[in-house]
Structure 1
Amino acid sequence: MNLTISGHHLEVTPALRNYVTTKLDRITRHFEQVVDIKVLLTVEKNQEKERRQRAECKIHVKGNDLFAESSHEDLYAALDELVDKLDRQVWRHKSRVQDHHHESAKRVM
């Protein structure tokens, strides 16, 4: 799994990088076929104060690309919302990929 964390108008500190990786472990624990994860953290100067910190993530899994974004006044809260959204998407994708068609039981005559 490739993990890319980048920041615009923001320095990605080791503590922030560690927080992102521990949060994304939840996604890889639910679905093992994650190929690539790209996280973009931004601080927008001209936005209103409540939605200034923004986190976006693009995940490439086997057979699909998933994208989510979240904004909040606190970057850590934005990351929490982002991981919740991605977890729901990955869970939905996993249930679609799994084979739900079982062979019917054969009748005994």
Structure 2
Amino acid sequence: MNLLLTGQHVDISPAIREYVETKLERVIRHFDQIIDIAVILGVEKPSEKDKRQRAEVNLRVKGNVFHLDHYAEDLYAAIDGLVDKLDRQVLKHKEKIQSHQHAPVKHLSAGL
């Protein structure tokens, strides 16, 4: 799994990098078939009084790409919200994959 961490109008410090990596470990623990993760952290300021921190992620798995974003006042809060959303999406995808892997069709038709 590859992790690409990019900052737009914000410097990525080692502390932020470590924080993102530790938060993404939860997602990786739930679903280990992840190809790569691209995280973009940025600051958007439509006006000086309304400064918003942005966290985006593109997560690639076999046959699917998840794109999520989250906005907050604090960069760490934006990362937390993003990882929560991503974890829910990955678990939903995992359940969908596992629900389609039931008994083969030839075993179902043998009882008829």
Q: TM-score, normalised by structure 2?
A: 0.86
Q: Flag as ranges the 4+ runs of structure 1 deviating above 2 A.
A: 99-104
Kindly state the Cα deviation for residue 100 of structure 1 after the two structures are TM-superposed.
Answer: 4.5
Deviation string, structure 1 residues 40-87 (Cα, Å, up to 9, x no partner): 0010122562x6100000000112101110000001011000000000
- Count of aligned residue pairs for this structure pair: 105
Q: Which residue of the partner structure matches residue 26 of structure 1?
A: 26
Could you say what the CA RMSD is over the residues aligned between the two structures, in angstroms? 1.6
Equivalent AA in structure 2 for residue 39 of structure 1: V
Q: Distance in 1 between matches of 2:4 and 2:62?
A: 18
Q: TM-score, normalised by structure 1?
A: 0.88
Which sections of structure 1, spanning at least 5 residues, go unmatched?
none
% identical aligned pairs: 51
Equivalent AA in structure 2 for residue 36 of structure 1: D
Q: Which residue of the partner structure matches residue 101 of structure 1?
A: 102
Which sections of structure 2, spanning at least 5 residues, go unmatched?
none
Equivalent AA in structure 2 for residue 15 of structure 1: A
